[in-house]
Structure 1
């Protein structure tokens, strides 16, 4: 175990060298989940308080409307048109759950997340309700492809209906059952519909091209598909959580809070003054 004094020396040394990769701390180092949750403060505050976050959400849905209209005008197929959206941080805002974790000595868990889903208190993302109702008004259909587990079905249905979203029924509300891979659900929709747009806050909301194991692979997949962003793929901002975080940990979600803190900071690109 590293003492505070030794850690201070190590931090100073690596900062001077321009790198940031510390040995992992022991689980009993005194750094716990409550400490790690403090790192949620700025991202959660930005999501809840900044007008910039709201502006980006409106921007995404304004762009989605433009692309939907463009697709509809040129559509000549016999299938109906569909729009596929994620739920969390795409149609609805769960930042209140993130805010609740701050100050607690535990992190995300399926137990507390199930209570949040049952509460049905998520707010609509700015612009989401208007856009998705516009899609429905044009005769197209909205499919909610979400990795909320089936245990959250009733709470999710209640929440979406209360917010005025269209097509909230068993056909269109596609929660996770046996796998987090959304591709089979997207393929099932594509059998009967031409999909105009995919909307999400996570790259895996768009294509299996993004089911990668490393940050570098994700970066390469974005480069490969860059022409689709803003046209077929519409991305919503989410600085709080996502599959990318697991890649920071190299898949080790079970790492201690202290180890996660170290792994997060090891990915920084750090500027150093000349003198």
Structure 2
């Protein structure tokens, strides 16, 4: 299942991306709850605002894409510039002492959906409405473009001796499509099972035993991602940066810094 707790439909976009128009007490990309004190933003107008933010256009193959000079791309560039400075500083400090004085290698962790791979075409084609079957087919087609600037950020991190991991809410059955897509989109880094973490609900790892067993998966997005980052650090790494398009991608600790990438199209609690 795509990022669990996703609220289906364009109504989600209305609650999230149009929040700036509501004023105090509004829903935002960081908070799904809202006290509506006025009529919400008109959905038709909101879709137009989202299109303008992404610089939406259809390419020759009929695929919806974001423009590289869009406000979205500019926001990404600003966040990535800050992240690169932080990565450079962290790398310059070298390995960080861990338990019992053992040094830990610096690492970064990236979410996949709308952090590493852009699913804007899916959102447009489904009118911002999630369907498990169409989403599964879309992921397995492995044709999503990279989020602007993120392959370059990964290459930069690796050039500084920083390890790169991917942590996604995609299911284990979607791993092959995700890995193929990451490679096709230009992520020149290790993409094996020790570097790409998916949700394996039928055979959850022991480090998630507090919320998941082979008989029952009860991990929230935060628990799943927090527990996995904790596991990564336990294997000898210090996560100097965690990247995600949802607050739930980043909450729970086990990262020196977090970087929230923009996504006005859905909210994941």
**What's the TM-score, normalizing by structure 2?**
0.65
- Shift of the 110–233 alpha-carbon distance from structure 1 to 2, 3 Å rule, reads same
Structure 1 position 37, deviation (Å) = 9.0
RMSD, aligned α-carbons:
2.6
- Shift of the 134–67 alpha-carbon distance from structure 1 to 2, 3 Å rule, reads same
Structure 1 unmatched runs, 5+:
1-17, 23-34, 210-227, 245-275
Answer whether contact 1:146 1:174 (CA < 8 A) is retained: yes
- Counterpart of 2:86 (choices 67, 72, 84) is 67
Structure 2 unmatched runs, 5+:
1-35, 55-65, 97-102, 202-218
Structure number with greater Rg is 1
Q: Equivalent residue of 2:124, what SS? A: helix
- Partners of 1:44 and 1:114 lie apart in 2 by 24
Higher RCO structure (Cα 8 Å, ≥6 apart): 1
Residue 237 of structure 1 corresponds to: 262
- Shift of the 136–76 alpha-carbon distance from structure 1 to 2, 3 Å rule, reads closer
Higher fraction of helix: 1
Structure 1 position 57, deviation (Å) = 1.1
Structure 1 position 208, deviation (Å) = 2.5
Structure 1 position 99, deviation (Å) = 0.8
- Partners of 1:119 and 1:200 lie apart in 2 by 22
Stretch of structure 1 that moved more, 126-135 or 68-77:
68-77
- Partners of 1:101 and 1:39 lie apart in 2 by 16
- Shift of the 19–58 alpha-carbon distance from structure 1 to 2, 3 Å rule, reads closer
- Counterpart of 1:167 (choices 178, 190, 213) is 190
Q: Equivalent residue of 1:186, what SS? A: helix
| Structure 2 residue 61 is matched with structure 1 residue 58 | no
**What's the TM-score, normalizing by structure 1?**
0.63
| Structure 2 residue 92 is matched with structure 1 residue 91 | no
Q: Equivalent residue of 1:185, what SS? A: helix
